[in-house]
Structure 1
Amino acid sequence: MADPAPSSSDTTSMPDRHPPSLRPAEKAAIVLALVTEKSLEKLKGRFPDIHRERLIEVAETLRRVGPSEQEAVLREFTAEVRGEGPLRGGTRVADRLASILFEDGDPMDDFPTMQLAFDPFGDSDPTIWDELADEKPDRLAGMLAEASPAIVSVILQHVQPEFGSEVLRRLEEKRANETMLHLAKTTISAAAAEQAVEDYLREELEKAGLAGGPDAEAILPVTEILNRLAGNRREEIIKALEAELPAPSVDLMKEQLLSFDALPDRLPRSAVPVVFREFDEKTVLTALRFAQDQGSGAAEWLLSNISQRLADQIREKVTALPSINPEDGEAAQTKVVCGILDRVTLGTITLISPAEAKES
């Protein structure tokens, strides 16, 4: 077995650029603006009509976006499509992105023309409705659990029908029925009523600590560091964060953490042989023995997903080891987790998401 930290011949990469602070609709407009006319033709009939007016409005008011921001938006777009979180890889990945998405070469060639066509001007701050678009239905439904049907109905008029139905489905049945009745009787909301609802939502979002987030991308740097710390040190830091951060942010952070004990839920069975084939043998044996000493089922789960012959050989070696002290055991398990995360970064392992793990 080799060292947990994989080697890579591709060491030249550009520093990660964070996407500019733009609304989702603005980012979508940028991506579409960079697409050639030939590629846009292929999207005919696939772009929902419900988004047409919003796209035109955003494109008309979009501010000028520099090349570095364009690249950052494209990187974020590709990461969202692939569902693998923030994109890494620098120039190599950017070139692959361009070759896949844009058949006619460099997508930047058309950007000056698109700028003139759109005649961008000014900035526009995100509204409360833009922020709601980034929320999850269950969290919004939780905030609206005590809201009046009048408030909920105004909100449903401002969100996409698919999103609104998900929120409504999570409300208590009586409140949902009253909301739909109110919505059926009220076709147009008065400006004063809409402003009151916006103020209500802003207050609720701020109380919940959700304004502008949280999202997995925002807390990714924290989880990446915590995932590489031994258990006791990690727990100390989490306690400190719990005392200062909003509960939703802490909960989302905890969902993204990967521990040795969580491998049965997060590591695909097909990736288990990689651990025994490529990782340092002494490190893996120590991690397994410590897991057994602690009564964790992770050790037996890992062994059950390799060949019986190899599993028996490893069990003999693990049994022959003396009891492992907590410091050495946690250090070994952390090295195994780090080795897995390194391969996730390289793209050779794809973890099961926390949401998928809950469903299974």
Structure 2
Amino acid sequence: MPQTTPLSRRRKAAIVVRFLLSQGHKLPLGGLPQDLQIALTHELAGMRAIDRATLDAVIAEFVDEVDHLGLAFPSGIDHALDILDGSISEAAAARVRHEAGLDTRRDPWERITDLDPAALLPVLDSESVEVAAVVLSKLKVSKAAELLGMLPGERARRITYAVSRTGAVGPATVRRIGEALLAQLDAERASAFAEGPVDRVGAILNFAPATTREEVLSGLDETDGVFAEKVRRAIFTFANIPARIDARDVPRILRDIDQTALARAIAASVEADSATAEFLLGHMSQRMADALREAAAETPPMTPAEADAAKVEVVRVIRALEAAGEVFLLAEDG
């Protein structure tokens, strides 16, 4: 029997949903507000049958409305954040979630486990071994193994052992740890400085006179030995060249260094840093090495400041090539 009573929009919606489901379509109805999902369920339960003409009319009206729809916007803050993921900063997104009371709905580990190992390394390096063990336990095995390989051996062993004691840690504690770490990581990414304090201090000391550098590092040893050790690892000076430059890159580096400046650096290394001078001389042509040795021998005596400046010029060229991606510094053992 043809439908004679006008249909409400809610009943039309129920007809469209029933039709699409009967055609095998999966509808994301879980994204609707809960009261609408309940109302739709009751509407479907209260219907029996409609004729073909009514069905065709409802579907035609639905298709016409869809055709006139220009753009649909998300319903709710959480859906809006999903759309904007990657387009706004994590710090801004975290603040929106907090203000909207969404923090408790999201698992912080979803974001933490997606981070690159380099971003997680400071956490494993600075937090307690118990916290580091929880982080390691939440990661994929391949990423956890990569992170362990980036840590000093003793630290890696202590964290690995602590993993054996994580079985007693409850879900609520794991979640609180994740929330605290995520807040810390978001704050670090929102820093006004592009580099961390270790890299900034290391970069400054790279070009400081050797005496100044040693005085600063000695002072750091007294106030914060852990920070001092990290800075030492970040520093790259003339003396580090043999350990951190691939011998195959020496010819490329020498092309960008003024020969007079290089001769002065070699002359400045007769006593201190002689290993670096021999490393450079040993990986160039014999003719060029002989010429540099002769030029170095003829270089007038230099003051300590002039000797430092000559070595710093070589370091400056290497750093510029590294920034351009033309040479890569090797990781120093220990």
Question: TM-score scaled by structure 1?
Answer: 0.48
**Corresponding residue for residue 122 of structure 1:** 96
Given the alignment of the two structures, is residue 358 of structure 1 paired with residue 327 of structure 2, yes or no?
Answer: no
Identical-pair percentage: 22
Matched letter for residue 267 of structure 1 = I
Matches within 5 A, 1:97-136: 122-123=96-97, 129=109, 134-136=119-121
Q: For 1:283, which of 254, 261, 264 is the aligned residue?
A: 261
Partner of 1:306 in structure 2? 284
Partner of 1:223: 202
Say which is worse superposed, 247-256 or 261-270, in terms of deviation: 247-256
Question: Which amino acid in the other structure matches residue 333 of structure 2?
Answer: K
Moved more, 328-337 or 290-299: 290-299
Distance 2:259 2:316 in 1: 15
Is 1:315 the counterpart of 2:290 in the alignment?
A: no
The CA deviation at 1:311 is 0.9
2-structure distance, mates of 1:317, 1:326: 19
Deviation at 1:313, TM superposition (A): 2.0
Question: Which secondary structure does the structure 2 equivalent of 1:258 belong to?
Answer: coil
What is the one-letter code of the residue matched to 1:135?
A: L
Between 332-341 and 152-161, the greater mean CA deviation after superposition: 152-161
Q: Aligned match of 2:211 in 232, 236, 240?
A: 232
Deviation string 1:241-261 (CA, Å, 9 cap, x unpaired) is 5566x6554433322221111
Contact kept? 1:261, 1:298, Cα under 8 Å? yes
Measure, in 1, the Cα distance between the counterparts of 2:227 and 2:108.
Answer: 19
Q: Deviations over 1:314-347 (max 9, x none)?
A: 2122233354332211111112211222333344
Residues in 2 aligned to 1:234 and 1:177: alpha-carbon distance in whole angstroms:
39
Pairwise CA RMSD of aligned residues? 4.9
- The C-alpha deviation readout for 1:24-70, integer Å capped at 9, x for no partner, is xxxxxxxxxxxxxxxxxxxxxxxxxxxxxxxx99962856946xx79
Relative CO higher for 1 or 2, CA cutoff 8 Å, sep ≥ 6?
A: 1
**Of 238, 248, 256, which residue of structure 2 is paired with 1:260?**
238
Partners of 1:312 and 1:248 lie apart in 2 by 44
CA distance in 1, matches of 2:108, 2:221: 27
Unaligned runs of 5+ in 1: 1-55, 71-119
Displacement after TM superposition at 1:228 (Å): 2.5
Distance 1:323 1:278 in 2: 25
Deviations 1:290-332 (A, max 9, x none): 1122252000110001111221222122233354332211111
For 2:141, which of 133, 158, 161 is the aligned residue? 161
Distance 1:297 1:275 in 2: 17
TM-superposed deviation, 1:223? 3.2
1:294 counterpart SS class: coil
- Equivalent residue, structure 2, for 1:194: 174
Structure 2 equivalent of residue 60 of structure 1: 82
TM superposition shift of 1:196: 7.0
Q: Give 2:323's match in structure 1, choosing from 332, 345, 352.
A: 345
Q: Unaligned 5+ residue runs, structure 2?
A: 1-77, 150-155
TM-score by length of 2: 0.51
Cα distance in 1 between the residues matched to 2:107 and 2:221: 29
Measure, in 1, the Cα distance between the counterparts of 2:333 and 2:194: 17
**Any conservation in 2 of the 1:137–1:167 contact (CA below 8 Å)?**
no
Q: What letter is aligned with 2:96?
A: G
Cα separation, 1, equivalents of 2:256 and 2:158: 51
